[in-house]
Structure 1
């Protein structure tokens, strides 16, 4: 397959290299951003577990300084507070087919320094069926749910993830392995609920 130019920028604002794949991404940055509460998306993924496929439903701190910077307060480097990351549903063959990762990225106190493993759960699910995947702030804890079932709890992490977040839904190809089937990620809806 012929490679073609990619008009996206990387985290340093540099042009991505030519690629034979096209990825999709929807983000609510500077449109809808919320502090705490509960974020939920109802989605499904077809043909999970193929090498290189990367569907994800995640949150990123609204002060993130990655290009394109759109507002004056977007000055915080990932994953410092203000640019934290919460992955509600991330699948790139973690645990194989019909598994996904839920996690918060733990900051190690420097730009670009994130611990991806210590606050992560790999959870089994029938990915080709619609499920509601959510994260919720409850008191001092951050709770991940699959449907109504709590699957993972991060005790005493809520204060470390207290900035406004925006939502991201993406489906990317992260390596050059051959595509053997068509992949799809279908999103029925996304919502945020505010708790008083």
Structure 2
């Protein structure tokens, strides 16, 4: 292991002997740790924070490989020798566990815990030194940046709602992360700052709040409060300049101008038992209803090769034990609107019945590129939702997939399919960030694309879903679609 890789880990194991410690402190290299001398126990040590910041309070805990209560002192290595730190000693538990609280450092420091030789109940016990650890300083304070997102957050609801009812988001990214550290948000208009709310940093160091229109403020500020010896730290910036490029609320009772039916009246490759039909998509006013519809007979006038009787008997038998063919719907902006990089969001209510495959996705006309599946829903099952990146090459298709558990999304799983949810992706040259109701669920730097993409809404029945279908149709209701850059 190289010096750089050891340093990146933040805490390096050191040898117990003085000479070896000095060498390892100098190089933090791969030198093996010496074994304890015969008849002498040792122990382990660990810091509660990797790369603590200067003056940040943390704890150092460990366990002696010795039974019975003992007194333990904390020592640090300086001037090529171990020196007792000026702080009270602690007692171990009967099992040898101990902890030193409110430790802080100004620079990278090596620590060990030491217990002197002692006699207990007439029995002599040898001195014990734990293995040493090197605690690296993470710098003076957290690095931070603040940004805003367009209206991609909302509260799940069974009712249609105007696109303007969704909330934007203000988020601050702190490094290194300090999960649980409170961050206070405020916005400025003119010379006046107004407190908006607070949130805690998550495991990735991100704190976020919802706000109806982040662009309304001239400047945003995020303040990480004092914690564990750290002073408050503030970052400020102007709102991110998101501009809306597409807004479709399906208010009319016809196919909107930006959208066209896609792959209509043809047998779909790899989907033996289904066709795409324009009749499967309806616009009652205020939503797009995209349905899977059971067909009473083999459709005529459909492009492509229909399944033979033998193929239908093999692939198209549903949960009732009957052969069943289906029509599904698909609309897209392929002919009228494409975009490269940005944020795309849709408010959708999926059907909980299994045997259908509803989706909101981005596709490109490039032969070797990436399909961005913002959300796919398969009805109520163990993993009903999926976000996926499909990268097509000349030789194969590579997929990068995540199935967000409903219980991790902060919503009642029992009524998930009764409500509309906002599904979105933030697509940049560096990564994709997928969110549901504004909550990040998946982030990937794989399968990056710089090609123009168009939006697609679809609800179909694939061969692998037929066995779960009960012979009825399923609805996918789309309230609105919005795209920003």
Bin for the TM-score computed over the shorter chain = 0.7 to 0.9
Asked if the contact 1:98/1:127 (under 8 Å) is kept, the reply is no
Match of 1:92 among 360, 378, 393: 378
Bigger Rg over Cα:
2
Which residue pairs with 2:437 in the alignment?
147
Task: State the TM-score, normalized to the length of structure 1.
Answer: 0.73
The yes-or-no answer on 1:187 pairing with 2:472 is: no
Match of 1:38 among 343, 347, 357: 343
Match of 2:352 among 26, 33, 47: 47
Where is the helix percentage greater, Structure 1 or Structure 2? 2
Which residue pairs with 1:137 in the alignment?
427
Rounded to whole Å, the distance in 2 between the matches of 1:102 and 1:172 is 17
Asked if the contact 1:6/1:16 (under 8 Å) is kept, the reply is no
Task: State the TM-score, normalized to the length of structure 2.
Answer: 0.31
Which residue pairs with 2:394 in the alignment?
110
CA RMSD of aligned residues (A): 2.4
Which residue pairs with 1:2 in the alignment?
297
- What's the CA shift string for 1:122-158, capped at 9, x where partnerless? 1134233110000102561210000111000003x47
Structure 2: gaps of 5 or more residues:
1-295, 308-323, 407-415
Which runs of structure 2 are paired with 1:74-85 in the superposition (5 Å)? 76-77=366-367, 80-81=368-369, 84-85=370-371
Match of 1:17 among 293, 306, 318: 306
CA shift for structure 1 position 115: 1.8
Instruction: State the secondary structure of the residue aligned to 1:26.
Output: strand
CA shift for structure 1 position 181: 4.1
Evaluate the alpha carbon distance shift between residue 31 and residue 102 of structure 1 in structure 2; reply closer, same or farther with a 3 A threshold.
Answer: same
CA shift for structure 1 position 30: 2.0
Match of 1:163 among 441, 445, 451: 451
Instruction: State the secondary structure of the residue aligned to 2:418.
Output: coil
Evaluate the alpha carbon distance shift between residue 140 and residue 128 of structure 1 in structure 2; reply closer, same or farther with a 3 A threshold.
Answer: same
Q: How many residues in Structure 1 have an aligned counterpart in Structure 2? A: 162
Rounded to whole Å, the distance in 1 between the matches of 2:301 and 2:405 is 34
Instruction: State the secondary structure of the residue aligned to 1:105.
Output: strand
Evaluate the alpha carbon distance shift between residue 44 and residue 97 of structure 1 in structure 2; reply closer, same or farther with a 3 A threshold.
Answer: farther
Structure 1: gaps of 5 or more residues:
9-14, 65-75
Evaluate the alpha carbon distance shift between residue 174 and residue 148 of structure 1 in structure 2; reply closer, same or farther with a 3 A threshold.
Answer: same
Evaluate the alpha carbon distance shift between residue 127 and residue 121 of structure 1 in structure 2; reply closer, same or farther with a 3 A threshold.
Answer: farther
Asked if the contact 1:58/1:87 (under 8 Å) is kept, the reply is yes
Instruction: State the secondary structure of the residue aligned to 1:127.
Output: helix
Evaluate the alpha carbon distance shift between residue 28 and residue 153 of structure 1 in structure 2; reply closer, same or farther with a 3 A threshold.
Answer: same
Answer 1 or 2: higher relative contact order, Cα 8 Å, separation at least 6. Answer: 1
